[in-house]
Structure 1
């Protein structure tokens, strides 16, 4: 039962990460179509960067503490990338360079989105597997 509860928590955490990444993509799309100015777009994106990093680190920690080693290993590259971006001081969007780096910023977030969708799919698979496995024991 605890394993199923851990999978449910991880499911909602992954959904929250997906919402954050989609929000960042929407801000970049609004900037591209000139619905928002660069300062507001950069401020909105930079506002959710740290929560994204913290939530993703918490997800990796959750997988480690619950003993889901494969999922923890699969979350490590994303965590490493976030840590690398933070230590290189490249984690925030620069207002003055946002138009020059718009395609790159969108590409980074699309890759994150694809990666998170893959992790979500695996999490759903393991949640269903755990549910069916628990039903067999009763």
Structure 2
């Protein structure tokens, strides 16, 4: 039963992170096409940055406690990157620099989405592997 709860929580955490990043990407694209002003865009992005970091920390901690080392080690560089951004105070979008950094901000979030999709695929493979071991 604990293994089932682990997999459900893992999938919920990954999908939540993907939704948060998708929301940020939509805001950046809206800003690029001038559908939203820079102040609203950056304030909305900044509201979800810290929850994104916390959810990813919970995801890493869950994998560490559950003993799923491969997924934990796979998500550890992403946690390090988020922690480094937070320590350097570079995690928030600046309203005065958002147009200058728009291309970089979009690329950064697209890379995070690709990374999370990779982790999600490995989680599914690990789930199937675990279920196959339980059958035999």
TM-score of the superposed pair, with normalisation by structure 1: 0.95
Does residue 62 in structure 1 map to residue 59 in structure 2? no
Q: TM-score, normalised by structure 2?
A: 0.96
Please show how residues 88-99 of structure 1 align to structure 2 within 5 Å.
Answer: 88-99=88-99
Deviation at 1:132, TM superposition (A): 2.7
| Number of positions where the alignment pairs a residue of Structure 1 with one of Structure 2 | 136
Supply the RMSD in Å over aligned alpha carbons. Answer: 0.9
Deviation at 1:127, TM superposition (A): 1.3
Kindly report structure 1 stretches of 4+ aligned residues shifted beyond 4 Å. none
Mapping for residues 14-29 of structure 1, pairs under 5 Å: 14-29=14-29
Identify unmatched segments of 5+ residues in structure 2.
none
What's the offset of the Cα at 1:3?
2.1
Q: Provide the C-alpha distance between the structure 1 equivalents of 2:43 and 2:127, rounded to a whole number of angstroms.
A: 36
1:74 equivalent in structure 2: 74
| Shift, 1:7, TM fit | 1.7
**Match of 1:120?**
120
Greater relative contact order: 1 or 2 (C-alpha under 8 angstroms, separation 6 or more)? 1
Q: Determine the structure 1 residue equivalent to 2:109.
A: 109
Deviation by residue 1:74-133 (Cα, 9 ceiling, x = unmatched): 111000000000010000000000000000000000000000000000011111222232
Please state how far the C-alpha of 1:55 moved relative to its aligned partner. 0.1
Unpaired runs of 5+ residues, structure 1, are none
Task: Judge conservation of contact 1:4–1:130 (CA < 8 Å) in 2.
Answer: no
Alpha-carbon distance in structure 2 between the residues aligned to 1:128 and 1:11: 13
